[in-house]
């Protein structure tokens, strides 16, 4: 019995090793090779209008296109399905001139009516649970008081006119966001199926989806930009563990991956079969104070702690240098960034002075909430938490590290239970409003203003900036707001991280976009 | 035997009912609102409130429990809050992936574990015995995470023998039919892909099978030692039977009962406990499915997922109990 079993095993092993050499490299269409993209999680759904997670947008960016789109590595606006556009002087009328002869993957025509139907689908749904992004970017749904879009009208077959109720400065940046991609009206009227079998105008067509495993898209042979895409298709493969994903790309089983552990960076750089891509930063990781809770209701205490944290040391130790120190709540790549703000320098004596002024000369005890999960802006929350803990000890502040499972953590921090906490934010549309107003305005206490920071002057500036369409005047207001926020120190902004991706050296033309999702339209594999 | 099986099956009903209730209450006791987690950090308060209502999570717990529970009797496992798909539709591919991996792991664990145990008992206190038992001790205490990554690094990358992750060669995958890839590849007539699938099973199978293998080896050894001291073994040897047959025929059969029990329990544990192996090897199994559901508080998926795993677990245990009679005719069920 034993011998025969051994024999069978030996045969199987020999067979499999023998065949290792001659496994076929098929599956590539005539046009180009299929690229395998490894990532840490699956998409939730493939209807861009209803999802909010980055893993979904990574795929929908291939299938859909917007009227206007972001630049390859920035959030400047470029032509998309609209080849040009006019804006009226009062900032209330946007006229888009559409590309002609564009077809959806199901063969129906893309035209002005299709655009109207898409916006109608979102604005008339009044379903905030389903279409979460629309009301948050455009101030509500049709009929709501704050709704920005008064009317979307097809002037002729290839001209669409948007009328706004009030000027919205980031309007073009908003409609370039992944959730506002244009889908085939015929397909989404079909209902449920659209989220699993999406139909757009993009360079790739949806092919198949094995949940938590693989999503496959294939080249759209009738794509309106001639000669594109260069790839025959893309397969999005879920490998949850970062180290295992790196093993797969090292072995050549996948061609490109996101989510490299910063600690593996050196190993990858040594390997000449691999290349590293750096995503420009559009995020901020921070250490926040609950400004309603003593002693953090005192500005001096917050400033003192700001003087105690050595950001460069944190970056060197936990980000392997793949981040830059943050001094404002938004990253420098976003227009309106105030570079003249002087960061609180690392200075223990100054911190002691400030604490003395606040009456906490001998320090105090506090809870420090550390993030339980890795996020692009915070690869290891626990360890960064320990580093902050050690810094605070220098002035006699005893910090106890507290943590919860991620879902519970967010909920409790949002409810104001945490006296101090670590969190971060990745921008949606590359606009200052999406950082400053969303994270630090008094209107957003209870949602994303976790610090419960309230400053009337900041509020006035941010609201005024929302209405302005002149970019320079707007930026001045944001710069002013950053100065006040810096002085009040509701957070210690820690870092703007630059997430790292790894690809086989044969991958050409890939440029990671700051928003976290990008089209693979002109990527190729040698 | 038939009556016994029926009796055992009916006794499962209260067990499963109790389990459904406990799981139901337990997952609601963890803080975290599913609506918030589904919509993400970016969501507005109003959106969260609207989704909470739509999902029926604003209802009192007994209303929620009743609607889930009555659904079960109609064969309705519920709808995933996250993907909005009926669970009965989406669970099978995960289950199939887990079954394939668990069987591979158990095959490795049983074949190696039992034989190592037998030889250790046969040559008690030999160098083989010592080595095998030290290895078994290392095996039970091995962190799967580390073992999996090491396997990938050494066997797959350094030696270039086997693939690192996944269930098949993704560059040339076959379309799933049954979602059991060993069967699917054969149905497509793709022998090359069939061998690919086997190659993909070896490393995760070893990672997942290491702990059961060590437990089985130790159990087999101690059980064999006991049997080999008994009178009928002495008799068999006295009549001049070859040692090989004494060990593999007479001793093994008598020593197998506790080993089979352990195997049954281990298979059950593998079903839900493969989460680490699945994470490292990019294996879309039921452990991942339930784990993800817990992170996003996808209540129906957690409930039904655990229910199905528990159901299989008790079925396997029943099967093991029935196997006793087949192995040892002295055991009879009345």
Per DSSP, the residues of A388-451 read HHHHHHTTT-EEEEE---HHHHHHHHHTT--SEEEEEEE-SSS-THHHHHHHHSGGGBTTTBTT
Is residue B310, in this structure, part of any structural domain at all? yes
**What is the rounded radius of gyration, in angstroms, for the C-alpha atoms of chain B?**
24
The answer, yes or no, to whether residue B307 has pLDDT greater than 60, is: yes
Is residue A22, in this structure, part of any structural domain at all? no
* B155 reaches A (C-beta below 8 A): no
Based on the fold, state whether residues B27 and B171 are members of the same structural domain.
Answer: no
Secondary structure, 3-state, A17-66: HHHHCCCCCCCCCCCCCEEEEEECCCCCCCCCCCCCCHHHHHHHHHHCEC
Based on the fold, state whether residues B273 and B309 are members of the same structural domain.
Answer: yes
For residue A142, the Cα-to-chain-centroid distance in whole angstroms is 27
Greatest alpha-carbon pair distance for chain B in Å reads: 85
* Average pLDDT of chain B to the nearest whole number: 86
Q: What confidence score (pLDDT) does residue B333 get?
A: 66
Q: What confidence score (pLDDT) does residue B42 get?
A: 64
* B254 reaches A (C-beta below 8 A): no
Contacts of A447 in chain B (CB under 8 A): 43-45
Alpha helices in A254-336 (DSSP H): 265-270, 299-308, 311-318
Contacts of A25 in chain B (CB under 8 A): 171-172
Share of chain B above pLDDT 90, in %: 20
Contacts of A20 in chain B (CB under 8 A): 160-162, 199
* CA B78 – CA A208 distance, rounded (Å): 24
Q: Report CB contact under 8 Å: A129, B297.
A: no
Query: Pick from A377, A389, A388: which is nearest to A309 by CA?
Result: A388
Q: Report CB contact under 8 Å: A25, B43.
A: no
What is residue A107's DSSP assignment? S
Q: What confidence score (pLDDT) does residue A76 get?
A: 85
Query: Pick from A273, A35, A12: which is nearest to B157 by CA?
Result: A273
Contacts of A36 in chain B (CB under 8 A): 170-171
List pLDDT tens digits, range B149-172: 999 999 998 898 999 988 888 888
Based on the fold, state whether residues A139 and A211 are members of the same structural domain.
Answer: no
Based on the fold, state whether residues A180 and A276 are members of the same structural domain.
Answer: no
Is residue A321, in this structure, part of any structural domain at all? yes
Cβ-count burial B263-297 (b if 16+ within 10 Å, e if not): bbbbbbebbbbbbbbbbbbbbbbbbbbbbbbbebb
Based on the fold, state whether residues B196 and B270 are members of the same structural domain.
Answer: yes
* A222 reaches B (C-beta below 8 A): no
Chain A nearest C-alpha distance from B282 (Å): 4
B 259-298: CB under 8 A from A = 278-282, 284, 288-289, 292, 295-297
Asked whether the CA dihedral A173, A178, A180, A185 is positive or negative, the reply is: positive
What is residue A195's DSSP assignment? G
Contacts of B94 in chain A (CB under 8 A): 211-212
Is residue A51, in this structure, part of any structural domain at all? no
CB-based contact A442:A459 (threshold 8 Å):
yes
Based on the fold, state whether residues A177 and A324 are members of the same structural domain.
Answer: no
Q: Determine which of A42, A53, A129, A250 to mutate to test the interface with B (most B C-beta atoms within 10 Å).
A: A129
Helix (H/G/I), strand (E/B), else coil: A221: coil
Q: What confidence score (pLDDT) does residue A418 get?
A: 93
- Residue A91, both tokens: 């900032």
* Count of the separate structural domains present in chain B: 2
Chain A nearest C-alpha distance from B120 (Å): 15
The answer, yes or no, to whether residue A3 has pLDDT greater than 60, is: no
Question: Hunting for tokens 């200075």 — which residue is that?
Answer: A347
Q: What confidence score (pLDDT) does residue A422 get?
A: 94
Q: What confidence score (pLDDT) does residue A19 get?
A: 44
Here the CATH number for the domain that contains residue A436 is: 3.10.105.10
Q: What confidence score (pLDDT) does residue A16 get?
A: 46
Based on the fold, state whether residues B120 and B213 are members of the same structural domain.
Answer: yes
Is residue B77, in this structure, part of any structural domain at all? no
- Residue B54, both tokens: 């739509």
Please give the average per-residue pLDDT across B143-153, as a whole number: 89
Chain A nearest C-alpha distance from B209 (Å): 16
Please give the average per-residue pLDDT across A90-102, as a whole number: 92
List pLDDT tens digits, range A126-177: 877 778 788 878 888 888 888 889 999 999 999 999 999 988 888 999 999 9
Beta strand ranges found along A132-187 (DSSP E):
149-156, 159-164
Q: Determine which of B166, B248, B278 to mutate to test the interface with A (most A C-beta atoms within 10 Å).
A: B166
List pLDDT tens digits, range A440-498: 998 888 778 999 999 999 999 998 998 887 788 999 999 999 999 999 999 999 999 99
Is residue B84, in this structure, part of any structural domain at all? no
* CA B80 – CA A212 distance, rounded (Å): 14
Based on the fold, state whether residues A258 and A400 are members of the same structural domain.
Answer: no
Cβ-count burial B200-231 (b if 16+ within 10 Å, e if not): bbbbbbbbbbbbbbbbbbbbbbebbbebbeee
* A497 reaches B (C-beta below 8 A): no
Torsion of CA B182, B183, B187, B188, to 10 degrees: -30
Based on the fold, state whether residues A158 and A259 are members of the same structural domain.
Answer: no
How crowded is the C-beta side of A236, counted as CA atoms within 13 Å? 29
* Count of the separate structural domains present in chain A: 3
Q: What confidence score (pLDDT) does residue B294 get?
A: 84
Based on the fold, state whether residues A268 and A235 are members of the same structural domain.
Answer: yes
Chain B nearest C-alpha distance from A195 (Å): 9
The answer, yes or no, to whether residue A17 has pLDDT greater than 70, is: no
Is residue B86, in this structure, part of any structural domain at all? no
Which residues are bridge partners to A503 per DSSP? A256, A275
Based on the fold, state whether residues B29 and B58 are members of the same structural domain.
Answer: yes
Provide the pairing of β-strand A93-98 with A82-87: antiparallel
The answer, yes or no, to whether residue A21 has pLDDT greater than 70, is: no
Q: What confidence score (pLDDT) does residue A290 get?
A: 95
pLDDT bracket for residue B50 (50, 70, 90): confident
* CA B319 – CA B334 distance, rounded (Å): 16
Q: Report CB contact under 8 Å: B169, A23.
A: yes
Secondary structure, 3-state, chain B: CHHHHHHHHHHHHHHHHHHHHHHHHHHHHCCCCHHHHHHCCCCCHHHHHHHHHHCCCCCCHHHHHHHHHHHHHCCCCCECCCCCCEHHHHHHHHHHHHHHHHHHHHHHHHHHHHHHHHHHHHCCCCHHHHHHHHHHHHHHCCCHHHHHHHHHHHHHHHCCCCCCCCCCCHHHCCCCCCCCHHHHHHHCCCHHHHHHHHHHHHHHHHHHHHHHHHHHHHHHHHHHHHHHCCHHHHHHHHCCCCHHHHHHHHHHHHHHHHHHHHHHHHHHHHHHHCHHHHHHCCCCCHHHHHHHHHHCCCHHHHHHHHHHHHHHHHHHHHHHHHHHHHHCCCCCCC
Is residue B168, in this structure, part of any structural domain at all? yes
* B182 reaches A (C-beta below 8 A): no
* CA A140 – CA A134 distance, rounded (Å): 7
* CA A394 – CA A397 distance, rounded (Å): 7
Cβ-count burial A13-33 (b if 16+ within 10 Å, e if not): eeebeeeeeebeeebbeeebb
Based on the fold, state whether residues A380 and A475 are members of the same structural domain.
Answer: yes
Based on the fold, state whether residues B309 and B162 are members of the same structural domain.
Answer: yes
Is residue B333, in this structure, part of any structural domain at all? no
List pLDDT tens digits, range A202-240: 999 999 999 889 999 999 999 999 888 999 999 999 998
List pLDDT tens digits, range B127-139: 999 998 898 888 8
- Residue A384, both tokens: 């960064």
Asked whether the CA dihedral B39, B44, B45, B49 is positive or negative, the reply is: negative
Is residue A312, in this structure, part of any structural domain at all? yes
* CA A66 – CA A425 distance, rounded (Å): 24
Q: What confidence score (pLDDT) does residue A436 get?
A: 94
Please give the average per-residue pLDDT across B229-238, as a whole number: 88
CB-based contact A365:A398 (threshold 8 Å):
yes
- End residue of a domain, out of B72, B105, B129: B72
Please give the average per-residue pLDDT across B179-200, as a whole number: 89
Based on the fold, state whether residues A437 and A304 are members of the same structural domain.
Answer: yes
Q: Report CB contact under 8 Å: B83, A45.
A: yes
Domain that holds residue A91: 65-185
Please give the average per-residue pLDDT across B215-237, as a whole number: 90
- Facing B195 at nearest CB: one of A15, A243, A406: A15
Here the CATH number for the domain that contains residue A77 is: 3.40.190.10
Based on the fold, state whether residues A506 and A486 are members of the same structural domain.
Answer: no
Based on the fold, state whether residues B125 and B15 are members of the same structural domain.
Answer: no
Query: Pick from B82, B107, B266: which is nearest to B198 by CA?
Result: B107
Q: Determine which of B117, B165, B173, B247 to mutate to test the interface with A (most A C-beta atoms within 10 Å).
A: B165
The answer, yes or no, to whether residue A11 has pLDDT greater than 70, is: no
Element (H, E) at A483: helix A471-488
CB-based contact A204:A63 (threshold 8 Å):
yes
Query: Pick from A504, A479, A186: which is nearest to A332 by CA?
Result: A479
Q: What residue of A is the nearest CA neighbor of B158?
A: A251
Q: Report CB contact under 8 Å: A405, B47.
A: no
pLDDT bracket for residue A31 (50, 70, 90): low
Note every long-range contact of A453-462, with CB atoms under 8 Å and residues 24 or more positions apart, other chains counting: A453/A291, A453/A485, A453/A488, A453/A490, A454/A291, A455/A484, A455/A485, A455/A488, A457/A484, A458/A484, A458/A485, A462/A433, A462/A436, A462/A437
Is residue B241, in this structure, part of any structural domain at all? yes
Chain B nearest C-alpha distance from A128 (Å): 5
Complex ipTM > 0.85: no
* A23 reaches B (C-beta below 8 A): yes
* A443 reaches B (C-beta below 8 A): no
Domain that holds residue B118: 91-327
- Residue B136, both tokens: 């078994």
* CA A517 – CA B185 distance, rounded (Å): 34
* Average pLDDT of chain A to the nearest whole number: 88
- Residue A287, both tokens: 């250490």
* CA A38 – CA A105 distance, rounded (Å): 25
For residue B200, the Cα-to-chain-centroid distance in whole angstroms is 17
Question: Hunting for tokens 């006794």 — which residue is that?
Answer: B11
B 40-99: CB under 8 A from A = 40-47, 50-51, 53-54, 82-84, 90, 93-94
Helices B252-273 and B87-122: crossing angle in degrees, nearest 10, is 150
- End residue of a domain, out of B72, B100, B118: B72
Is residue A20, in this structure, part of any structural domain at all? no
* CA B274 – CA B144 distance, rounded (Å): 10
* A210 reaches B (C-beta below 8 A): yes
Is residue B332, in this structure, part of any structural domain at all? no
- Residue A501, both tokens: 């991706």
Query: Pick from A167, A176, A139, A184: which is nearest to A61 by CA?
Result: A176
Based on the fold, state whether residues A253 and A175 are members of the same structural domain.
Answer: no
The answer, yes or no, to whether residue A10 has pLDDT greater than 70, is: no
Q: What confidence score (pLDDT) does residue B107 get?
A: 93
List pLDDT tens digits, range B273-284: 688 899 889 899
* A155 reaches B (C-beta below 8 A): no
Number of CB atoms found within 10 A of residue A140's CB: 19
* CA B163 – CA B173 distance, rounded (Å): 14
Q: What confidence score (pLDDT) does residue A305 get?
A: 95
Based on the fold, state whether residues A164 and A248 are members of the same structural domain.
Answer: no
**Contact residues for B10 (Cβ-Cβ < 8 A; gap 6+):** none
Number of CB atoms found within 10 A of residue B68's CB: 19
Based on the fold, state whether residues A463 and A508 are members of the same structural domain.
Answer: no
Based on the fold, state whether residues B248 and B282 are members of the same structural domain.
Answer: yes
The answer, yes or no, to whether residue B329 has pLDDT greater than 80, is: no
pLDDT bracket for residue A18 (50, 70, 90): very low
- Facing B152 at nearest CB: one of A44, A235, A247: A247
* CA A392 – CA A370 distance, rounded (Å): 14
Question: Hunting for tokens 């490393």 — which residue is that?
Answer: B203
- Residue A206, both tokens: 């949806």
Based on the fold, state whether residues B57 and B189 are members of the same structural domain.
Answer: no
């Amino acid at each position: 019995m034993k011998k025969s079993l051994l024999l069978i095993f030996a045969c199987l092993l020999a067979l499999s090793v023998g065949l290792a050499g001659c496994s076929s490299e098929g599956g590539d269409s005539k046009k180009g090779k299929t690229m395998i993209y490894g990532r840490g999680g699956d998409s939730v759904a493939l209807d861009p209008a209803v999802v909010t997670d980055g893993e979904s947008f990574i795929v929908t960016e291939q299938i859909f296109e917007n009227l206007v789109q972001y630049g390859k590595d920035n959030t400047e606006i470029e032509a998309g399905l609209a080849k040009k556009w006019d804006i009226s002087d009062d900032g209330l009328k946007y006229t888009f001139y559409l590309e002609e002869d564009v077809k959806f993957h199901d063969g129906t025509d893309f035209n002005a009516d299709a655009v109207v139907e898409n916006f109608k689908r979102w604005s008339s749904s009044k379903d905030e649970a389903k279409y979460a992004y629309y009301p948050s970017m455009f101030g509500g749904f049709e009929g709501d008081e704050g709704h920005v879009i008064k009317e979307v009208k097809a002037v002729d077959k290839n001209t669409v006119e948007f009328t706004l109720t009030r000027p919205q400065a980031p309007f073009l940046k908003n409609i370039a966001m992944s959730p506002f991609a244009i889908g085939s009206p015929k397909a989404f009227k079909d209902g449920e199926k659209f989220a699993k079998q999406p139909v757009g105008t993009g360079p790739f067509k949806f092919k198949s989806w094995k949940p938590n495993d693989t999503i496959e898209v294939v080249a759209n042979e009738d794509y309106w930009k001639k000669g594109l895409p260069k790839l025959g298709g893309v397969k999005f493969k879920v490998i949850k563990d970062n180290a295992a994903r790196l093993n797969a790309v090292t072995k050549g089983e996948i061609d490109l991956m996101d989510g490299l552990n910063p600690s593996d960076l050196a190993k990858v750089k040594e390997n000449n079969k691999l290349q590293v891509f750096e995503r420009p930063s559009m995020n901020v990781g921070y250490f926040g104070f609950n400004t309603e809770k003593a002693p953090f209701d005192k500005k001096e205490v917050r400033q003192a702690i700001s003087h105690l944290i050595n950001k460069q040391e944190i970056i060197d130790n936990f980000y392997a240098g793949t981040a830059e120190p943050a001094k404002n709540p938004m990253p420098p790549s976003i227009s309106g960034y105030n570079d003249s703000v002087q960061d609180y320098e690392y200075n223990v004596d100054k911190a002691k002075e400030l604490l003395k002024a606040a009456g906490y000369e001998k320090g105090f005890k506090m809870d420090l909430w550390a993030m339980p999960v890795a996020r692009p802006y915070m690869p290891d929350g626990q360890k960064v938490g320990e580093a902050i803990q050690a810094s605070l000890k220098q002035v006699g502040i005893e910090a106890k590290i507290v943590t919860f499972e991620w879902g519970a953590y967010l909920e409790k921090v949002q409810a104001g239970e945490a006296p101090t906490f670590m969190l971060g934010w990745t921008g949606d549309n590359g606009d200052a409003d999406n950082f400053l107003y969303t994270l630090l305005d008094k209107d957003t206490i209870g949602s994303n203003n976790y610090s419960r920071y309230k400053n009337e002057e900041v509020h006035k500036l941010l609201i005024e900036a929302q209405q302005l369409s002149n970019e320079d005047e707007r930026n001045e207001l944001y710069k002013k707001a950053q100065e006040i926020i810096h002085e009040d120190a509701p957070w210690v902004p820690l870092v703007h991280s630059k997430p790292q991706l790894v690809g086989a050296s044969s991958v050409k033309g890939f440029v990671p976009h700051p928003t976290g999702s990008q089209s693979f339209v002109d990527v190729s594999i040698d | 035997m038939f009556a016994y099986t029926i009796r055992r099956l009916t006794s499962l009903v209260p067990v499963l009912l109790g389990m459904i209730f406990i799981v139901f209450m337990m997952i609601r006791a963890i803080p975290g609102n599913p609506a918030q987690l589904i919509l993400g950090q970016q969501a507005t308060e109003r959106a969260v409130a609207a989704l909470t209502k739509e999902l029926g999570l604003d209802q009192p717990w007994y209303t929620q429990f009743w609607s889930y529970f009555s659904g079960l009797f109609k064969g309705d496992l519920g709808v995933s809050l996250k993907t909005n798909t009926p669970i009965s539709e989406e669970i099978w591919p995960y289950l199939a992936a887990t079954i394939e991996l668990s069987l591979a792991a158990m095959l490795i664990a049983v074949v190696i574990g039992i034989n190592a145990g037998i030889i250790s008992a046969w040559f008690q206190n030999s160098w083989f015995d010592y080595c095998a038992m030290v290895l078994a001790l290392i095996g039970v205490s091995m962190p799967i995470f580390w073992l999996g990554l090491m396997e990938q690094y050494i066997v797959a990358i350094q030696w270039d023998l086997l693939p690192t992750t996944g269930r098949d060669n993704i560059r040339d995958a076959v379309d799933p039919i049954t979602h059991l890839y060993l069967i699917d590849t054969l149905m497509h007539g793709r022998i090359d892909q069939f061998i690919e699938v086997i190659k993909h099973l070896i490393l995760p199978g070893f990672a997942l099978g290491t702990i059961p293998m060590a437990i089985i080896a130790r159990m087999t050894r101690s059980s064999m030692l006991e049997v080999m001291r008994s009178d009928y073994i002495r008799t068999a040897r006295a009549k001049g039977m070859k040692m090989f047959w004494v060990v593999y025929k007479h001793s093994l059969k008598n020593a197998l009962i506790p080993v089979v029990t352990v195997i049954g329990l281990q298979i059950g544990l593998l079903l839900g406990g493969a989460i680490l192996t699945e994470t490292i090897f990019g294996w879309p199994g039921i452990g991942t499915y339930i784990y993800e559901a817990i992170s996003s508080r996808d209540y129906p998926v957690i409930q039904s997922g655990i229910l199905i795993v528990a159901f299989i677990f008790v079925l396997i245990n029943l099967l093991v109990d029935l196997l006793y009679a087949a192995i040892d005719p002295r055991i009879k069920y009345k």
